[in-house]
Amino acid sequence: MSDNHLERLVNASLEQMAARAARAPLAQVRARALEREAPRGFVSALVAAQARGDNPLIAEVKRASPSRGVIAKDLDPARLARAYEKGGAACMSVLTERASFGGSLEDLVQARSACSLPVLRKDFLVTPYQIWEARAHGADAVLLIAAALDLPALVELRGLARELRLDVLFEVHSESELEAAQAVRPDLLGINARDLRNLAVDADAFSRLLPNARGIAPLVAESGVRTPADARRYRKEGADALLVGEALSSAADPEAATRGLVRA
């Protein structure tokens, strides 16, 4: 990676991981992960939502972001998770990076314990320790970002996730990253309208990448989905699922906002 915003995010995540690893060595985390109950099916929940006629929605627990700053100052992960479930979301995503997003693994634990939805750990995951850690804390799926690692490392982490029965959402922003997606063979392919290297948003990223992305894995539209009209547009363009964070975490009535996107 070059010296860019994504590199700083990854480095911050690694620093946070190092502090946790000093308290909980890998052997301890592995033991906890192997004791967990079977994961809730993340992809299967999206498929079930599609079969019901809903827009398959991944609703995100997001306290803050580098581009927006504080999104939800007094966010209660458990309460928000229950609202998402009542609103009809198929799955949840929980930010666990602290420095720029205000998240934590405790947010993931609280959100998952409060509902029956499958949960994605959303963070800058670049080491096996973080994958084991996700499973140990109850994650049902993990995010891998194409721009964050070279291909051998991405394939290694995808393989570990598969061993642990974690579904993988693989995130791309550019045409060149689709080659990595084909090699990684993820369970879901996310097309992020936001370039994490500079935080710029390309509203046409999904439609631009769609022709060559189709067929790799079910497609998830990320960033830029705020309203029912946005949901309809992305679904019409070919998105199999939608990931929505800021608009839901900051909503005055997150249950109603979720329902509006699910039924759009």
- What percent of the chain is helix, strand and coil (3-state, nearest 5)? 45, 15, 35
CB 74, CB 200: distance < 8 Å: no
CA 163 vs CA 17, 32, 36, 99: distances in Å: 21, 15, 14, 30
HSE, side-chain direction, 13 A CA sphere, residue 253:
7
What's the pLDDT at 116? 99
| Sheet strands (E) in the chain | 57-61, 64-65, 69-70, 91-95, 119-122, 141-145, 167-172, 188-192, 219-222, 241-244
Residue-range definition of the domain harbouring residue 91: 5-262
CB 71, CB 64: distance < 8 Å: yes
Strands 167-172 and 69-70: unpaired
CA-to-CA distance for 37 and 48, rounded, in angstroms? 21
> In this structure, is the dihedral angle defined by the CA atoms of residues 85, 213, 125 and 97, taken in order, positive or negative?
negative
CB 247, CB 214: distance < 8 Å: no
> In this structure, is the dihedral angle defined by the CA atoms of residues 34, 19, 113 and 124, taken in order, positive or negative?
negative
Q: Is the pTM of this model over 0.85?
A: yes
Q: How many CB atoms lie within 10 A of CB 38?
A: 7
CB 225, CB 234: distance < 8 Å: yes
CA 221 vs CA 66, 98, 136, 218, 242: distances in Å: 20, 24, 28, 10, 5
Backbone angles phi, psi at 174, to 5 degrees: -130, 165
What's the pLDDT at 10? 94
CB 219, CB 235: distance < 8 Å: no
What's the pLDDT at 223? 86
The count of domains in the chain is 1
Question: What are the residues facing 92 on neighbouring strands?
Answer: 59, 119
Q: What is the pLDDT along the chain (264 residues), one digit of tens a residue?
A: 345 889 999 999 999 999 999 999 999 999 999 999 999 999 999 999 999 999 999 999 999 998 888 999 899 999 999 999 999 999 999 999 999 999 999 999 999 999 999 999 999 999 999 999 999 999 999 999 999 999 999 999 999 999 999 999 999 999 999 999 999 999 999 999 888 888 888 889 999 999 999 999 999 999 889 999 999 999 999 999 999 999 999 999 999 999 999 999
Tell me the CATH number at 207: 3.20.20.70
Residues with Cβ within 8 Å of residue 190, at least 6 apart in sequence:
143, 169, 170, 171, 172, 219, 220, 221, 222, 243
